[in-house]
Structure 1
Amino acid sequence: MRKRFSSNFITRHVQFYFSIYCFIMVLFVMGIIFGAIIVNSLSVAQKEDLFYYLNQFFGQVADGKIGKSEELLKISFFHNVKFVGLMWLLGISIIGFPLILILLFLKGVTIGFSVGFLVHQMGWNGLLLAFVTLLPQNLLIIPVYIFIGAISIAFSIKLIRKIFVRQGFSYRIVPEFARYFMSYIAVVAVITVAASIEAYAAPVLMKSILASLQG
């Protein structure tokens, strides 16, 4: 019964904000494509420098010299919490939703550049590394970014309508803000799971892939 209710709630939520979700996802994909294109615009010297530092990092991973999993967990957790927290606050700021779109686009650029650079420099091996190191946690993180971006933009639009279009518009701010706040708490819970995957599973997978490539 609870699963059916949750499924119906999610379906109604996506349908209600369908246009916002579509726009955000298109923008995010454009960011990924743009990030991949940037790789080709780098000079040979820039690519060699980046690949040198990347090889050093891979060497540290293979030797087990990266930070402890607990430290990686904290870094990943606080980074993502701050990022979604910024979008959440921009939603309250009323006129901050253009910045939300910029942040989502830049996050797409970062992912696209990371994957594109690995594939450009290492071919199929780079794609495999990107798959095991970036995909697991991003299966949770990317939907979280899209979700918090959508509800932040929607909340900002509602506030604008409340302030500037008073006539014929009934809007209870306190219940809406409570739901908005609870959405952020739910997002933090998902980020905790994603950060755990990035801290504990991703390094192990990366180390095993690097060992097999070197062997």
Structure 2
Amino acid sequence: MRGASLSIKAWVQTLKIQACSLGLLWVFGLTIVGSPLILIAVAARGFIVGFTVGFLVQEEAGKGLILAIAGVLPQNLCYIPAFLGAGVLSLYFSFTLLRTQDAPYRRLGVYTLLFLVFFLLVLIGSWLEAYLAPGLMRLILPILK
């Protein structure tokens, strides 16, 4: 039972972090000034994932590649499309605010609903990160020794 509660805590913590990042992209899209921040946020996430995979592969060669596939890939199959899509949508919405003069209330609803779709991807990714990735790591670690 103790392991299940640790997994739930890990899932909640991961979901909190990822949802906050997604929420920031949503807020940045509401302002025209937030456009550069959207690009910085998406680029920083890409740098972090790339650095992690590159480090693992450079330090451990084939073992590092297997570690990256088991520990980094599963959740990022959901996170990368979610954050790229959210970044593009945020930029589009921000530029739409700049171009149009009418009230954007209807567009704000569609914008928020699309972000809920991205949140579902983040929810799935955080579940994969908390439950699937540790299980895969436990399976491959004895093989890599």
Identify whether the pair has TM-score above 0.5, normalized to the shorter chain. Answer: yes
RMSD: 1.5
SS of match in other structure, 1:95? coil
Q: CA separation in 2, counterparts of 1:78 and 1:144?
A: 15
1:90 aligns to what? 28
Moved over 2 A (4+): none
| Structure-to-structure mapping, 1:44-55, within 5 angstroms | none
How far, CA to CA, are the matches of 1:68 and 1:138 in structure 2? 21
Give the TM-score normalised by the residue count of structure 2: 0.92
Candidates 51, 54, 64, aligned match of 1:116? 54
Give, in whole Å, the separation in 2 of the partners of 1:191 and 1:111.
Answer: 15
Secondary structure in 2 aligned to 1:68? Answer: helix
CA separation in 2, counterparts of 1:172 and 1:182?
Answer: 18
Offset at residue 172 of structure 1 (A): 4.9
Letter in 2 for 1:178: G
Counterpart for residue 74 of structure 1: 12
Which segments of 5 or more consecutive residues in structure 2 lack a partner in the other structure?
none
1:146 lines up with 2:84 in the alignment: yes
User: What are structure 1's unaligned runs of at least 5 residues?
Assistant: 1-64
**2:123 partner amino acid:** T
Distance 1:193 1:112 in 2: 21
* 2:138 equivalent in structure 1: 207
The alignment covers a number of residue pairs equal to: 142
The aligned counterpart of 2:120 is: 189
Q: Matches of residues 175-186 of structure 1 in structure 2 within 5 Å?
A: 175-186=106-117
User: Alignment identity in percent?
Assistant: 34
Larger RCO: 1 or 2 (CA < 8 Å, sep 6+): 2
